[in-house]
Structure 1
Amino acid sequence: MEFYSTNPYNGKQVGKYTAQTKEETTVVLNNSGKAFREWKKTPLSYRTELLQKAGQVLRDNVEEYAKMITQEMGKPISESRAEVNKCAWVCDYYAENADEFLASAEIKTDATHSYVRHDPIGSVFAIMPWNFPFWQVFRFAAPTLTAGNTGILKHAPNVFGCALKIEEVFEKAGYPKGVFQNLIVHHDQTEMIIAHDAVQAVTLTGSEAAGSAVAELSGKYIKKSLLELGGNNSFIVWEDADIDRAVKTAVSARMLNCGQSCIAAKRFILLEGIYDEFISKFKTAVNELKPGDTMDDSTQVGALARKDLADQLQRQVKRSLEQGAELLLGGEQNNCFHQPTILGNVKPGMAAFDEETFGTLAAIIKAQNIEEAFELSEKSTFGLGTTVFTKNIEKAMEMAGSVSDGAYFVNELVKSNPRLPFGGTKRSGYGRELAKEGMMEFVNKKTVYVKA
């Protein structure tokens, strides 16, 4: 089987990749298990040293890696550079903090000495998406490898070029052979991989359907799993908010990465007192975004990663309009490019309210008061994050407990940060990445009890 990656901006082929056979995949899995037996014995200081080197490799080659990201999935080159640099940041973060995170935790009992140590578990199989092709991998790999595990990557087929570059980063940093390996395989090998004795856990970032399938397989083979799935984040603006600041943040929250982000703000819930002002300023700001060649530093909106994704977004726009939504801006599609689009008068039951819209579409919803705004926000099967814009910080903090999502941001867009745990609830998945919690997901929390 052959895989092709195509530049969504101009339709040109970027790469061609031949799928590995089941026999070749088995060799990779066996090598991962063999590498783990030695890697887990290496001093933590050595592992953090290599991770620091990986961060430097990323910085030294930022233009090369950013170009591959942009060519394969279509985001503007300036955003691709930012993604590569964020990967270097997560390497720095875990290199600096791994010693503290993995330290044994003393616990007083009737024993002479009792504590919990944090040991690696084995090979971790990562199934990663195309929308942040470097970042999604490094936020898994940095803590997981540093904890002493080995990693096996199955990336999305349209970004296999990025996958090879990522494998190259670890090679250049000096990681031993087999500690991090990339697979060029179709999803029909997923069960075989998960079933392999070397694989002790699975982490997936992707669609709800993919998450459900992987969770089922993980359960079948009694393997730990972590799922980071879709989102339908709300962006709530109260009447006392700084509207100019809220609008500026809202544009980034929805249009960054051409809107192709699980944690992007998708439902903008506005209190009626500021509804018209926000829409007016939001329309102006979105309309001023510059589309164009994704390799141009000045481009702010690129193409969606594939035509089928743009087609799906267009269908959601049309269905929402048929259901009573109002077209306020955009709405047109040309191959992989979808105009930044704003729909007003969006209500529960419409596609733009109920479904995850993965692209440049903002749904505007009116709420009579704060209570109704939060009720509308909670009308979602997803649970990744919520943003609230207000000057009343005390009141906003009081409302944090009423939000069932995995994140609650006040006066800022929901975003991942190496220092903070990241993950969702409900159909957005389970488990946490980043921060100490991310490193603890794939360790054996081993109880040690000693009685003299």
Structure 2
Amino acid sequence: MLVSTNPHNEECVNSYATFNKAEIDNALNAANRQFTSWKNTSYEQRAQTLKAVAAALRNDKENLAHLMAVEMGKPLKEGLGEVEKAAWCAEHYADNAKTYLQSEDIESDAIESYVCYQPLGCILGILPWNAPIWLAFRFLAPSLMAGNTCIMKHDPSVQGCANAIMHAFKSAMAPDNIVTNLPIDNAEITNIIKDRRIAGVSFTGSSATGAKVAADAGSVLIPYVLELGGSDPCVVLADAELEKAADIACLSRIINAGQSCIAAKRIIVEESIYDQFITLLKDRLERLKVGDPLDNATQVGPLARKDIQQNLHRQVKESIEQGANCLLGGTIPDNQKGYYYPVTLLTDVTPSMTVFNEETFGPVMCVTKAKDINTALNLANQTVYGLGAAIWTKNLEHQQRFMQELQAGQVAVNGIVKTDPRLPSGGIKSSGIGRELGPHGIREFVNCKQIWVG
């Protein structure tokens, strides 16, 4: 059984039966049979389906937001925004897939030579719990518009959200089995990846699990995309617009209770403004309302699971023991119900400390002092991760230097690191392989076929 637990009150939301071997086999066969038909539909037909699904999401957004709140603790306001973003993603690929995948003429010694992009087959999406609607459509929309069919293996804790996604496709009267939900235990996933009916794998999750997925996919020579963990730096130089930088740094760190791969996790501040910027951060963080995600006034909900809460607390305690200064939070109240963690601000953090080296998944902000610009850049790159990074400065020369030298898959200048259906997203180093979204993302699971005519 797959069990959803409400992280606010630790009560069981629902339980779901897992597929047995025969049901798994039937699901894979159905997705592959549908591929032979779906791949031959026009872009216009696929777009009509995706736009109908987007409309179904919007019609059901209150229910979807409620499901996210009770299954993984996302505040209602954030949940509503997530549904809108998922619908936008579906519409974006409906409108742009044909252009993204149009054939490209390339001059050669042939009478005619070009590259065309064709679907591969049934693509497996292994999805996480932290943005259960958005991350599903980040996988589904480009894969479907490319002509693939999709097997959706969602996280065990958000099966209500997975079923609601399937309901959206049914409400939109989408063709059967272009998307198939696969409720299985995580232990079963290796066998699914290695099944000959799977043509590619998209995985979002931890770096450790991503390495296992890559090994499984590599063993059967199928393509894979990995969007993994991050410890994103947010560098604030002395000439930055400090009030705005503090606003965005706090938003980036706290959204989804800090449970985001691209959250600003290491705030690196130039020495001359260090104390001033900490005051700005503390003022904003201590005013945040932590509480029931179903309360419209809540800004920070609970963490999704108890093990996430306990691991975060370990990271904070170790860092304080290592010399970090705790200005806010850092303790779990006795007899507290739910998987809550207080908004926490750690200062005087150094590269030897746990919170600097490990990914922190929760509302914990750590701030590190940099004596100058060179030190700030070196600190930003002093990580095994390379997902996103932000730089705050008005100096155009400094902007250019950080844009070029930050080791990350995406860099935001004087703004927030975010995902956008129009732009590719992904990481380097331990943060992943491949890209999602934009024109680059839809080309991950297609055959880039060269045509040469003599």
Pick the TM interval, shorter chain: over 0.9
Q: Is the 8 A contact 1:271 1:369 kept in 2?
A: yes
Residue 307 of structure 1 aligns with which residue?
306
- Tell me the alpha carbon deviations over residues 208-227 of structure 1, each in whole angstroms, 9 at most, x when there is no partner: 12101111100111111110
User: Displacement of 1:188 after TM fit?
Assistant: 2.0
Residue 214 of structure 1 aligns with which residue?
213
- Tell me the alpha carbon deviations over residues 368-418 of structure 1, each in whole angstroms, 9 at most, x when there is no partner: 011100100111000001101111134212321111110111111111011
Residue 420 of structure 2 aligns with which residue?
417
One-letter amino acid matched to 1:101: Y
Q: Is the 8 A contact 2:125 2:151 kept in 1?
A: yes
- Tell me the alpha carbon deviations over residues 65-87 of structure 1, each in whole angstroms, 9 at most, x when there is no partner: 11111110001110000000000
Residue 36 of structure 2 aligns with which residue?
37
Residue 444 of structure 2 aligns with which residue?
441
- Distance in structure 2 (CA, Å) of the matches to 1:337 and 1:368: 35
Q: Is the 8 A contact 1:75 1:294 kept in 2?
A: yes
Size of the alignment, in residue pairs? 450
User: Displacement of 1:189 after TM fit?
Assistant: 1.6
Map 1:280-319; keep pairs closer than 5 Å. Answer: 280-319=279-318
Identical aligned residues as a percent: 43
Q: Is the 8 A contact 1:233 1:384 kept in 2?
A: yes
Instruction: Identify the range of structure 1 (207-216 vs 188-197) with the bigger mean alpha-carbon deviation.
Output: 188-197
Q: Give SS of 1:359's match.
A: coil
Residue 5 of structure 2 aligns with which residue?
6
- Tell me the alpha carbon deviations over residues 101-150 of structure 1, each in whole angstroms, 9 at most, x when there is no partner: 11111111121111111100000001010000111110110000110000
- Distance in structure 2 (CA, Å) of the matches to 1:95 and 1:397: 35
Residue 245 of structure 1 aligns with which residue?
244
Instruction: Identify the range of structure 1 (104-113 vs 307-316) with the bigger mean alpha-carbon deviation.
Output: 104-113
Q: Is the 8 A contact 2:391 2:402 kept in 1?
A: no
One-letter amino acid matched to 1:288: R
Q: Is the 8 A contact 1:126 1:204 kept in 2?
A: yes
Q: Give SS of 1:324's match.
A: coil
Over the aligned positions, Cα root-mean-square deviation in angstroms equals 0.9
Among candidates 364, 368, 378, match of residue 367 of structure 2: 364
Residue 381 of structure 1 aligns with which residue?
384
Residue 226 of structure 2 aligns with which residue?
227
Residue 62 of structure 1 aligns with which residue?
61
- Distance in structure 1 (CA, Å) of the matches to 2:270 and 2:305: 35
Among candidates 339, 342, 348, match of residue 351 of structure 2: 348
Among candidates 376, 389, 399, match of residue 402 of structure 2: 399
Residue 261 of structure 1 aligns with which residue?
260
- Distance in structure 2 (CA, Å) of the matches to 1:209 and 1:251: 28
Q: Is the 8 A contact 2:292 2:302 kept in 1?
A: no
- Distance in structure 2 (CA, Å) of the matches to 1:88 and 1:320: 40
Q: Give SS of 1:383's match.
A: coil
Q: Is the 8 A contact 2:115 2:449 kept in 1?
A: yes
- Distance in structure 2 (CA, Å) of the matches to 1:282 and 1:179: 47
One-letter amino acid matched to 1:388: I
Residue 155 of structure 1 aligns with which residue?
154
- Distance in structure 2 (CA, Å) of the matches to 1:393 and 1:93: 32
Residue 197 of structure 1 aligns with which residue?
196
One-letter amino acid matched to 1:108: E
Q: Give SS of 1:366's match.
A: strand
- Distance in structure 1 (CA, Å) of the matches to 2:422 and 2:383: 27
TM-score normalised over the length of structure 2: 0.98
Q: Give SS of 1:409's match.
A: strand
- Distance in structure 2 (CA, Å) of the matches to 1:4 and 1:196: 26
One-letter amino acid matched to 1:114: S
Unaligned runs of 5+ in 2: none
- Tell me the alpha carbon deviations over residues 275-309 of structure 1, each in whole angstroms, 9 at most, x when there is no partner: 11110111010000111221121110110001111
User: Displacement of 1:191 after TM fit?
Assistant: 2.0
Q: Is the 8 A contact 1:29 1:196 kept in 2?
A: no
Matched, 1:115 2:114: yes
